[in-house]
Amino acid sequence: MERALPVSRVALNLAKPKAEIHRGNCLTLPGSPFVCTEEVLARVERLGPGTQAVAEKVPLKNHSEVEIALGTAHALAQIHFLEDQRFARILLRESVPALWNQPFLIIRHGGSEILGRGRIRWFGEVPREERSRLTAILAELPEDAGEADQFRARLRFGGRARAPTEASTPGDTPPGAVRAGDWLFDSSWLAAFSTRVLELATAPAGVAAEEIASKLGVEEEATRSVLARLADQGALSRRHGLFFGGATAERAELPGPTRKLLEAIERAGRVAFEPARGAFSQKDLNTLVRLDLVVPLEGNLYYARAAYETLRAEILAGRKAGDRFRVPAAKERTGLSRKYTLPLLNRMEKDGLLRRDGDERMVLP
């Protein structure tokens, strides 16, 4: 059968060991909105005395152990009411399949009396300090809240959410939200996040997208969408995969020690700079490398960018893709000793200009 309607009696032939299938399991299609979870935050209503099937002498107590009837599942759980008594954290003994806003019943443990009912409004653990803010958002949702309400709640609480596939045009952006790339951001959250991004980008050496994402605890893809937006607005500039606040960092903007180190490397010219131990800070060296003002070579050697490009141009002059040469030929062209020529050739290989083949180097396209 392609379709079975309610009250139909059907069977399934599943290629699964019998031990893996249990009463209450839910069969779904890939991409379905079901979530397997062991913790939910729910809007709960206690059922008082006199309600049909409710025990008059068994109130629903905080932190008590209960049974939850949710869809096809029936599981033991603990219920913990929040400051807003309309909401509770429900910790299930086992993972169960659930839908957002799905109704459920709360039953006395070991009995049949119904103590309360509720609807699932959030999946997973919520930090203690964030629970009041989340419940305030969820309290505004209507009883029959749908997917759009769920999305808006997620956006307000987390500050960002991947845009639904159907929200493909700017006109589909919810009120109070800002679209950037494939993500939607709460406008207030985006403003605060952008401020912190710009603070990190003031570092002289710039900052990488993955660094920002890690430091601020935000998905890298969402972070890159914000970075692209700030760059389009002119608040950030990008250079060699790094982001800088305002215009790209210039030499005059470098700290004094870093600028002096750059000048020393430039004075070294064709002979690679070898930093004396303790004379210069490794942090300053790393800054110059990140800014691509200095090129590092094996053996703790450094070239100013202009000097490196001059030397590699001399080595490649008149040679085309597929041509081969040996180390002595490179030494002759540059006038450098083997100590500097080998690291220079290895760096050119790393940059995709050459490939080593035995004792020869081959020029790549």
Q: What angle do CA 218, 223, 224 make, to 5 degrees?
A: 155
pLDDT in tens, 323-354: 999 999 999 988 999 999 999 999 999 989 99
At the topology level of CATH, where does 33-138 sit?
Answer: Elongation Factor Tu (Ef-tu); domain 3 (2.40.30)
Going by CATH, does the domain composed of 192-245 fall within 3.30.470.20?
no
pLDDT of residue 169: 45
At the topology level of CATH, where does 253-363 sit?
Answer: Arc Repressor Mutant, subunit A (1.10.10)
CA distance 204 to 259: 11
Identical fold between 192-245 and 253-363: yes
Q: How confident is the model at residue 365 (pLDDT cuts 50, 70, 90)?
A: confident
pLDDT in tens, 59-101: 889 999 999 999 988 999 999 999 999 999 999 999 999 999 9
Phi, psi of 230 (to 5 degrees): -65, -35
Yes or no: say if 96 and 58 are a contact pair by the CB < 8 Å rule: no
pLDDT of residue 248: 46
Q: Which of 58-62, 242-246, 306-310 has the lowest mean pLDDT?
A: 242-246
> Nearest to residue 358, comparing CAs of 329, 325, 311?
325
Domain boundaries, the chain: 33-138, 192-245, 253-363
pLDDT in tens, 93-124: 999 999 999 999 999 998 888 999 999 999 99
pLDDT in tens, 182-202: 899 988 888 888 888 888 887
Give the per-residue SS3 of 220-251: HHHHHHHHHHHHHCCCEEEECCEEEECCCCCH
Q: How confident is the model at residue 57 (pLDDT cuts 50, 70, 90)?
A: low
pLDDT of residue 289: 85
CA distance 51 to 45: 12
Query: Average of pLDDT values for 42-59?
Result: 67
pLDDT of residue 131: 93
pLDDT of residue 144: 83
* Residue 351, C-beta contacts closer than 8 angstroms, at least 6 positions apart: 312
pLDDT of residue 65: 95
pLDDT in tens, 245-268: 754 445 556 778 888 888 889 888
Q: How confident is the model at residue 168 (pLDDT cuts 50, 70, 90)?
A: very low
Yes or no: say if 51 and 122 are a contact pair by the CB < 8 Å rule: no
Does 55 have pLDDT greater than 50? no
Cα end-to-end span (Å), the chain: 59
Does 278 have pLDDT greater than 60? yes
pTM above 0.75, yes or no: no
Phi, psi of 254 (to 5 degrees): -70, 145
Q: How many CA atoms lie within 13 A of 309 on its CB side?
A: 7
